[in-house]
């Protein structure tokens, strides 16, 4: 079932000990680093570069404690010109747009759509069924929960944390991640609560805890986050 020499174009540059399972499709000029694994059903476009030790196209799994059960996914689709980092893990059933980049040791779950030229930083984690637009920067170590919507040109700073379960598993709740509208910017290590909306071009200050919707173009800071004009009591400089 596993065949290292399966359907590999002449133009491909494949590292040592790479595993490419049956049914994988590779475009032209693909580079895959040493020890990477490309699992059955993955479709890789032209001019894609994959680092070493990456795992592409893995299937989700279930556990007694996790209520949302997952089923077998269709293949992972990696667009032309994408760059996948060393040690990254990307699941089946996900699509990466043209020129997207996935950093080293980042992981992206099943059923997610990532737009063109978007960057998912090193060690960032993206949960299942999330939609991320084009030209977004999801920075290092950020956590993007399931069922989120992130529109185009959004900036999400390092170690930002999001959530989608208001009751933390204590009672039934329709999971709802934040909705971040186009051109919004979220400062590093900010915390976003379930179901809130961050407006177009809005700005969330670094370290803020956002507990309610932020209107278009408004800057909020603090814990809980409040509009900047109502918050000029101390030393905060807002921004990031």
Q: Closest approach of Cβ 58 to a copy of itself, in Å?
A: 6
Q: Closest approach of Cβ 77 to a copy of itself, in Å?
A: 19
Name the DSSP class of 1. Answer: -
Are the C-beta atoms of residues 179 and 200 closer than 8 Å to each other? Answer: no
12 vs 101 by CB, closer to a copy of itself: 101
Are the C-beta atoms of residues 99 and 106 closer than 8 Å to each other? Answer: no
75 vs 205 by CB, closer to a copy of itself: 205
Q: Strands, E, within 92-194: which ranges?
A: 95-96, 101-102, 107-108, 113-114, 119-120, 125-126, 131-132, 137-138, 143-144, 149-150, 155-156, 161-162, 179-180, 185-186, 191-192
Q: Closest approach of Cβ 137 to a copy of itself, in Å?
A: 6
10 vs 65 by CB, closer to a copy of itself: 65
38 vs 43 by CB, closer to a copy of itself: 38
- Tokens 């997952």, residue located: 70
Q: Closest approach of Cβ 104 to a copy of itself, in Å?
A: 5
Phi and psi at 228, nearest 5°, equal: -60, -40
| Cα 190 → chain centroid | 17
Torsion sign over Cα 90, 92, 93, 95: positive
26 vs 56 by CB, closer to a copy of itself: 56
CA atoms of 141 and 16, how far apart (whole Å): 29
43 vs 196 by CB, closer to a copy of itself: 196
Q: Closest approach of Cβ 9 to a copy of itself, in Å?
A: 19
Torsion sign over Cα 8, 14, 19, 25: negative
Q: Closest approach of Cβ 88 to a copy of itself, in Å?
A: 9
CA atoms of 140 and 106, how far apart (whole Å): 9
43 vs 120 by CB, closer to a copy of itself: 120
Q: Closest approach of Cβ 207 to a copy of itself, in Å?
A: 3
């Amino acid at each position: 079932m596993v065949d290292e020499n399966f359907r590999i174009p002449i133009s491909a540059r494949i590292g040592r000990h790479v595993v490419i399972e049956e049914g994988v499709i590779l475009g032209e000029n693909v580079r895959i680093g040493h020890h990477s694994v490309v699992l059955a059903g993955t479709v890789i476009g032209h001019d894609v570069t994959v680092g070493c030790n990456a795992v592409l196209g893995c299937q989700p799994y279930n556990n007694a404690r996790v209520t949302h059960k997952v089923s077998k996914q269709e293949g992972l689709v990696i667009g032309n010109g994408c760059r996948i980092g060393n040690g990254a893990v990307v699941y089946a059933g996900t699509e990466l747009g043209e020129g997207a980049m996935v950093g080293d040791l980042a992981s992206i779950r099943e059923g997610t759509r990532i737009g063109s030229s978007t960057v998912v930083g090193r060690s960032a984690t993206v949960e299942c069924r999330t939609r991320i637009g084009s030209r977004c920067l999801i920075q290092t170590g950020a956590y993007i929960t399931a069922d989120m919507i992130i529109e185009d040109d959004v900036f999400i700073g390092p170690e930002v944390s999001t959530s989608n379960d208001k009751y933390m598993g204590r009672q039934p709740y329709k999971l709802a991640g934040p909705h971040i509208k186009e051109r919004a910017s979220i400062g590093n290590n900010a915390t976003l609560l379930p179901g809130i909306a961050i407006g177009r071009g809005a700005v969330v200050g670094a370290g803020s805890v956002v507990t309610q919707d932020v209107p278009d173009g408004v800057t909020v800071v603090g814990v809980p986050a409040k509009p900047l004009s109502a918050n000029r009591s101390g030393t905060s400089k807002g921004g990031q």
